[in-house]
Homo-oligomer: A and B are copies of this chain.
Amino acid sequence: MKLNIGVIKGDGIGPEIVTEAMKVLDRTGEVYGHEMHYTQLLMGGASIDVHGVPLTDETVQLARSSDAVLMGSIGGDAKTSPWYQLEPSRRPEAGLLRIRKELNLFANLRPAVLYEELKGACPLKEEITQGGFDMMIMRELTGGLYFGARATEEKDGVLTAWDTLTYNEQEIRRIAKRGFDIAMKRRKKVTSVDKANVLDSSRLWRKVVEEVAADYPEVILEHMLVDNCAMQLVKDPKQFDVILTENMFGDILSDEASMVTGSIGMLASASLNESRFGLYEPSGGSAPDIAGKGIANPIATILSAAMMLRFSFDLDREADAIEQAVAQVLKEGYRTIDIMSEGKTQIGTAKMGDLICGYI
């Protein structure tokens, strides 16, 4: 099979971690007989440096004509980087927001998994995490406060700023379906998170989610208020299978959930559209403070590449092979610094990539 993959190396540690993921993809291609065809795309700070904007129309076109896009992380240090002297709409993250919208990547999947091997890094007590946990956050990614109308206005010398949180039935229905579909392949439980005791958009969310649930009699649906969910993630993360929620709540809760695992450098993510296209990226940020040092953890990006093979190319066997190779290397005690603990062997970014390739 020939895979047309757009590659956005991104900023900070992006180029280093994407390089390792490409290494692993190449190795997987060799072993299983696939041809990897990469198109390098610029986005975020790297695009600002070359084109003055975080995303060009040409890049959008090139991304669109790829089967899938693999991405590092976008953005720099807001305090020191000149990118943050620009208008918000010209900053690195604006590229990310625009590509999500242009490519209609409405379904953001973020697994939050506690790896038994890495329990040491988990901030929660042993008694809470016993037996491990494994949840999938399904976040709506092209609606809500992120893309509603907004403005800053002056009246009688007083500035007022506003943003709109808006959803229609169709937007809610398509993400809810995705959530239930994923739940069917997992432990068949959906926790839909909203703030229905306050927001109209949440009340519509709840109504539509219930309609969709009727088509999935095997799946248990539960509603949870967002403030309660923020508590439950800390108190008892094991209770969750699929968390289904809107854009801003998903932003907050998925970051909280990934920190609760203690291994953010291990967590992949996928942003999917209605067909098979997806943008795959690590959950963590661009970590400009450690960029270029060869110490960043490439595993999240490597696992994102595995997700890409699974979701955009239906190559389950190949995805499994990558995931097992990662598990094997961890089992043997190799760790990058972010997940290092006593008695383990600390290695750098490239070495981690090499070792994982060795098991494919």
Contact = CB atoms under 8 A, between A and B. Distances in A.
Interface of A: 88, 91, 93, 97, 122-125, 128, 145-146, 148, 150-152, 158-170, 195-201, 203-205, 226-228, 230-235, 248-249, 251-256, 258-260, 264
A162 B148 contact: yes
Contacts of A88: 196-197, 203
A219 B259 CA distance: 28
A255 B230 CA distance: 7
Nearest to A207: B159
Contact of A162 (B164, B228, B230, B253): B164
B235 A255 contact: no
Given A124-B124, A252-B226, A260-B234, A160 B166 contact: yes
Given A165-B162, A166-B162, A259-B234, A248 B195 contact: yes
Nearest to A229: B252
A-B complex: 9 closest residue pairs judged by Cβ atoms: A161-B204, A162-B166, A231-B259, A230-B256, A227-B255, A160-B168, A161-B200, A150-B200, A161-B201
Interface of A is mostly: helix
A199 B252 CA distance: 14
A254 B200 CA distance: 22
A167 B256 CA distance: 26
A260 B233 CA distance: 10
Given A230-B256, A256-B256, A161 B166 contact: yes
Nearest to A148: B162
Given A91-B197, A123-B234, A234-B234, 17 more contacts: A88-B196, A123-B125, A145-B165, A145-B195, A151-B200, A160-B166, A160-B204, A161-B167, A161-B204, A162-B166, A162-B201, A163-B164, A195-B251, A227-B254, A228-B255, A230-B230, A231-B258
A232 B200 CA distance: 30
A230 B253 contact: yes
Contacts of A203: 88, 152, 161
A352 B232 CA distance: 27
Contact of A165 (B164, B235, B251, B254): B164
Nearest to A79: B223
Contacts of A233: 256
A199 B35 CA distance: 42
A169 to B, nearest CB: 5
A209 B226 CA distance: 26
5 contacts: A123-B125, A151-B200, A152-B203, A162-B200, A230-B252
A170 B251 CA distance: 28
Contacts of A167: 160-162
Contact of A200 (B152, B169, B256, B259): B152
Contacts of A93: 197-198
Given A162-B166, A165-B164, A234 B252 contact: no
Contacts of A160: 166-169, 204
Nearest to A170: B158
B259 A235 contact: yes
A227 B110 CA distance: 14
A195 to B, nearest CB: 7
Query: Which residue, of A123, A163, A196, A253, has the highest number of chain B Cβ atoms within 10 A?
Result: A163
